Amino acid sequence: MENYKHLHIGAGALGLGLVGFISKFVGFELAIANRPGKSFYDVLDKNLSFTLQETRLPNATAGKSSNKQDIAFDHFFFLKNNEPSVAMRQYFLDPNTVLLTSALKNTGIDALLDTLVALVRERLASKITTKVFLIAAENAVSSKDLHKLVRGKLGSALEQGMMDQLIIPIDCVVDRICNKPSISNNNLIVKCEYYIDWIIEDDPEFTDILTQLNPQYNEMFTVVDDITPYVKRKKWVVNALHLSTALLAHYYRYIGQRVDLFTKDKRFTPLFLSLTLDIWIMFAEKVKQERLPFSEQDIEAFVIETMVRISSHPQLVKDSCTRFNKATLFEFYSDFHRKVTEAYLQTVDNEDFVVIPQLIAMTTELISQQHFIRTH
């Protein structure tokens, strides 16, 4: 069996809690790269390991339980001024390096685009014929979009053609709630939920590599022919329920701004349950309109699972509108208002909605307030 290698850029919560964890489970030799600047990078560089603490959902017999495991990886590279080190370049030039991933949002991709271009250009110039599979493990940036960005930076049509042949994008959906890494006794801790989902579009050559490494790879990966329905499911259910709940908590000035505690407060639990039902109705109609491959049972199970995830992890779901600063709140409110209004108008049975109309009214009010703040 080949010693297949994986280079991952971006040592954040998702990069470690999902990408790094799954990579080592499958059996890749794993190298992680990141820009210096935070103390936990020094711990990663020194220890070449982190502790993953998974929190299980409560159940009737055991209550909450945590599963801790140490995840050892193989190399850590610092990107100084976004420049790949000699060791990092050599690692990527190894013919056995077949997977390049990032877990960076749009701003992070922009900052490190030149890094990716430098790596790809050297790989192409080396005449290595082994393919590299490129996966953007961040839902805001597709792998195909990242491929286009890098390709556009290459200087010649020849390089671009070689990249099309040898650097293969695989679109995906990632879903796991992970906390920012923390340090305890000189050990890096990444807390995350037990739930994990990495759905990838099928590429026979890549799935063959996964099968060679670990025939049980499908315990972590879900391989599908078309990723589009799963992207829509993630946005319309997980993202919609999470952001809507955060917005409600923010609007009602909930003490602590904790989404999970908001859902359990007796004053607001009915609101959260009604919101979940609204999103259930909306998604079910979208499935019918667009003929997505989800049965009624699939929809019910996924919506309920998402509701339980958001309301059951007090140490994980601390997200709220407080993560937005004054400069970005107006844009957030406006974008959210546009999307929820559009979804409302496109839903035939919208007279059954309870909370969605309230969200439209709330965001209208919040946009007006932010406009006043920005102009006075």
Q: Which residues contact 148 (CB under 8 A, 6 or more apart)?
A: none
Q: Residue 6 pLDDT > 90, yes or no?
A: yes
- The number of beta carbons lying within 10 Å of the beta carbon of residue 254 is 18
Going by CATH, does the domain composed of 5-225 fall within 3.40.50.720?
yes
Strand locations in the chain (E):
5-9, 29-34, 49-55, 66-72, 75-78, 97-102, 132-136, 167-169, 172-175, 182-184, 187-193, 197-201, 221-224
According to the model, what pLDDT value does residue 263 have? 86
- Cβ atoms 25, 32 nearer than 8 A: no
End-to-end CA distance of the chain, in Å?
66
Q: 5-9, 67-71, 81-85, 340-344: which has the highest mean pLDDT?
A: 5-9
Q: Residue 205: is its pLDDT beyond 80?
A: yes
pLDDT score recorded for residue 221: 93
Confidence of residue 302 (pLDDT cuts 50, 70, 90): very high
Q: Per CATH, which fold does 229-375 belong to?
A: N-(1-d-carboxylethyl)-l-norvaline Dehydrogenase; domain 2 (1.10.1040)
Residues of the chain with CATH 3.40.50.720: 5-225
Q: Over range 91-110, report the average pLDDT.
A: 87
> What integer best gives the mean pLDDT of the chain?
87
Residues 209 and 176 sit within 8 Å (Cβ to Cβ): no
Q: pLDDT confidence of 119, banded at 50, 70, 90?
A: very high
Please give the pLDDT value at position 59.
46
User: pLDDT of 162-195, one tens digit each?
Assistant: 999 999 999 999 999 888 888 988 899 998 888 8
Every domain of the chain with CATH number 1.10.1040 lies at 229-375
pLDDT, residue 251, reads 81
Residues 251 and 246: their CA atoms lie apart, in Å, by 9
pLDDT at 298 over 80: yes
Q: Can you count the helices (H) and strands (E) in the chain?
A: 15, 13
For residue 358, give Cα distances in angstroms to 92, 340, 364: 51, 11, 10
pLDDT tens, 246-260? 888 878 877 666 777
The more confidently predicted of residues 194 and 18 is 18
